[in-house]
Amino acid sequence: MNHDAVSVQLCRNAGLPDADIDALLTRLGQAKGNDLAQTLTERGNRYGKFTGHAQITQQLKQTMYLHPGWGGLAADQKEALDMVAHKIGRVLNGDPDYADSWVDIAGYAKLVADRLEGVER
């Protein structure tokens, strides 16, 4: 298996023999893959199937992008609205009672409001 050069060099600098380095980095790679699969399963359980979320979110964004007012927004305003659309997609497609989604929506709006009042974060 090919491992990134930095990881291999760090292991060599620590005095590990090449055979042990390969075994260690292979296990770490497998663990990362398992962690990713677990994360995706958890997200799917919370937010629904990604394809459903993507369809909702892209429809919301397309509506925003086509509106004449979109061009007059600052970059942070556009990004906040993009992220709010993303969060709305999660709410509609998944668990609408997951408070963190609603907190995130409020947070993106607050970032823009703060900047408009002179407080950049």
pLDDT digit string, tens, across residues 57-89: 999 999 999 999 999 999 999 999 999 999 999
pTM exceeds cut of 0.75 = no
- Give the C-alpha distances (Å, rounded to integers) separating 59 from 54, 55, 62, 78, 113: 8, 6, 5, 15, 25
- Distance, CA of 36 to CA of 38 (rounded, Å): 5
Q: For the chain, which residues make up each domain, given as ranges?
A: 5-42, 48-116
pLDDT digit string, tens, across residues 2-48: 667 777 787 788 887 887 777 777 777 666 667 888 899 999 999 99
